Structure 1
């Protein structure tokens, strides 16, 4: 299939500054599902606690993350170290070193209201010290850092209930991270310390060899260290979650039909393969939804993604 869309990943997340998304709406009107008190059997309660910024690696500018925990009054059950499932939220922004995870903060806080600890790590990216393999290794290490969040967060992470969520380039990285147990020894991210129980991707990208051939594919080539799929097919195979289906865990892949940053044609093959292989999870294309619509916590796209995500988390 030949797809020519000039906006492939270009500017993904770039409208985000300081946690706000540049939208043309004025006062949002929340849908009934956006403010649901119970979603997929999970109740909504309390005001989450921001435990602050955590440095998980040696680079205190890039290898950091935010940690949000549920309201202890609503969720601790009186325990000083309550056990919570964990959501690892991977931000987008074209894999750029200047991308900012703050636009995912509202989503993180929303998930914490349903009784999850939420970890929002950053990573080294393009136009900086990232790319191949650094960006991938950072995401892998940030997921494996979850057990060490216990002391700072004053909770016990349920390591059997670690679930991944990502948007745009973060959707690619979260889905890739969910496949690490299928990578050969020696590949970046192989031999994971934490195996995810599910992954939910909003407007993600999954087949980097296909994406490299599209208009805007130079960004993918930069991510892969400047090489093409023909020059290093193994590298592209290791970096593309599309090459490791089916998985034994749910994969929720949600995309908008009006996405002009990552057009539907660029991911349709992956969506078809999820269904063809019988991979558990949800595949959904939302009509009229664009690339940045997912980060509006009062919007229907996030309500659908949240439902798919929480449906994979064990009820409490």
Structure 2
């Protein structure tokens, strides 16, 4: 009935990073070698375009997916200096697995595109090339959904140049990721340097200078990628003097101009990057970047090419196997296997995020990795949610099917599914409670099974344990997320609230008519929240604990002073330490 997620097995560093980024390997078949694409092969995947700026040939690559027009968004990759778009095919494959079509192109003077290697006469050439490729995506590939650009290194200049110089013609881009942007030098060049650069560019614009020497581990810590790059006939490591002068001028403009971003922006950077030091970029972000939705993410244990680096996201696991339990790409369970001998304990993580499609299992990455330190098998569950064919009843079916799949996963990898602890955060706390109490479901209720997987313990991290009160607290509990998830209020759908609530309503009249169907859960429970949580009211935890104890459950209430709603996802927080201590107490 169930199959591995696209028969895909990948190592720890091949997971999805939060907020769009991706690490390397992802069983990418050819990703560590480069095969030149025949330029006369005008297939659906590879196509030649003619730049409107000067008619130079641009080679475009398209990684399609079935029913691409129905995808949530399309990705456009802009490569860095000296490389080409085929070096991003493993990243494209990752997004393809999530039904996201991907497009890229060799920048002028790079890869299979025309033009002198690395030569850029004017920033307008890069800007017009970018505009033309986006127009091609819209008009020829007929991809009308939101466009997200992932730009790396000097590829970021294309987008930034457009935003600065085309204010009257906004970039057709609905999300922008600048990955280790090479836009600022560690030390700003002096006026003399600029004069020399301009003079050199005018007198001998085509004289080629080395930009980085031979490709080294300063760029990525993956030796296979380093070696493949050195052997790649389509890369180069020298810039004409004209190009160097151009980037110096653009860099000065970016360093001295406040940039207002009209679209959501993520700038991500490797903390250990020495090519473009993070301190320089973080200072630029703090002083020059403005917008309603802008964010900066620093990645520990990573250097320049975040999409190629090994080790940072799950350094404590041996491998991860992703299992799909339904046809939708999000219907998946990631099984993380520790490096050491498995202890007789499995933790099933159920992520939160307002039951909304804006969030996924990646928000559990930090605590998942922390659990692996103790040789605990970790399963990270994802599911369809509101905005992605989820909500009542589909989300209940999803988490039930995904949880029952643990039996199959356990048999394959030689661990027991009889000792599972369910840990759910926020909305995931509600779903985790539902999963813990499935043995009490009636045959006509979503997720019913004659033999559901039953955990040995349950942790509710700031969980919405009482959906009745959550409905009344609409302005506090995720701004009405409960109502959106269940499709209406309890006056309209009382049976849905019975199904989804661990605790009965705090209103006596409703409580008498609709008591909790699930209590007692008959397993040890930790109900934990922060004293300054303003996302899910603390009363949700207190009310649940009171009712669980009255019902006879061994339920421990923990309120962590000074911590908020989201610290449960941070492995260094006090809240997570208390949850971890609770989990470790079940190791024989």
TM-score (norm 1): 0.78
Look up the SS of the partner of 1:246 in the other structure: coil
Choose from 408, 422, 443 the match for 1:148: 408
Distance in 1 (CA, whole Å) between partners of 2:542 and 2:502 is 14
- 1:220 corresponds to which residue? 482
Note if 1:66 corresponds to 2:334.
yes
Partner secondary structure for residue 124 of structure 1: coil
**Cα pair 1:47 1:113 within 8 Å, conserved:** yes
For structure 2, the residue ranges without an aligned partner over 5 or more in a row are: 1-17, 22-267, 269-293, 301-314, 504-515
Contact 1:88 1:120 in 2 (8 A): yes
Matched, 1:303 2:577: yes
Task: Tell me which stretches of 4 or more aligned residues in structure 1 moved more than 4 Å.
Answer: none
Measured against aligned partners, the alpha-carbon deviations of 1:49-93 in whole angstroms (never above 9, x if no partner) come to: 23243222221x21012211121xx316xxxxxx84321100111
Query: 1:273 matched to which residue of 2?
Result: 547
Distance 2:555 2:566 in 1: 22
Residues 261/213 of structure 1: CA separation in 2 closer, same or farther (3 Å cut):
same
Q: Equivalent residue of 1:99, what SS?
A: coil
SS in 2 for 1:195: coil
Q: How do 1:99-114 residues align onto structure 2 when only pairs under 5 Å count?
A: 99-114=359-374
Map of 2:492 onto structure 1: 231
Q: Secondary structure at the match of 1:67?
A: strand
The correspondence for 2:466, drawn from 194, 200, 207, is 207
How big is the shift at 1:106? Answer: 1.8
1:57 matches 2:326? yes
Query: CA 1:314/1:251 → structure 2, altered by over 3 Å: closer, same or farther?
Result: same
**Equivalent of 2:521, from 247, 255, 266?**
247
Distance in 2 separating the partners of 1:218 and 1:110: 32
Tell me what 1:171 maps to. Answer: 429
Instruction: Pick one of 385, 388, 397 that aligns with 1:137.
Output: 397
Q: Return the offset for 1:223.
A: 0.7
Shift of 1:266: 3.4
1:197 matched to 2:448: no
| Distance in 1 of aligned mates of 2:557 and 2:20 | 31
Cα distance in 2 for partners of 1:150, 1:108 equals: 17
Cα pair 2:426 2:464 within 8 Å, conserved: yes
Using the alignment, how far apart are the partners of 1:298 and 1:219 within structure 2? 28
In 1, the alpha carbon distance for the partners of 2:419 and 2:333 equals 19
Q: Which residue of 1 aligns with 2:97?
A: none
Q: Does the aligned pair in 2 maintain the 1:55–1:65 contact within 8 Å?
A: yes
- Inter-partner Cα distance in structure 1 for 2:469 and 2:382: 26
Partner of 2:396, secondary structure, is helix
Task: Let me know the Cα RMSD of the aligned residues.
Answer: 2.7
Which structure 1 segments of 5+ residues have no match?
Answer: 1-15, 29-45, 77-82
Indicate the SS of the match to 2:368: helix
Are 1:125 and 2:388 an aligned pair?
A: no
What is the CA-CA distance between 1:275 and the residue it aligns to? 3.1
C-alpha contact (below 8 Å) 1:178/1:196 kept by paired residues? yes
- Whole-angstrom CA distance in 2 between matches of 1:215 and 1:55: 33
Q: CA deviation at 1:18?
A: 5.3
TM-score (normalised: structure 2): 0.43
Structure whose alpha-carbon radius of gyration is higher: 2
Structure possessing the higher relative contact order (Cα contacts under 8 Å, 6 or more residues apart):
1
In structure 2, C-alpha distance between the alignment counterparts of 1:186 and 1:56, rounded to whole Å: 21
| Deviation per residue, 1:86-139 (Å, 9 max, x gap) | 211001111112212112112112212223211101100001200000011111
Are positions 1:17 and 2:19 aligned together? yes
Q: Contact between 1:123 and 1:135, CA under 8 Å: does it hold in 2?
A: yes
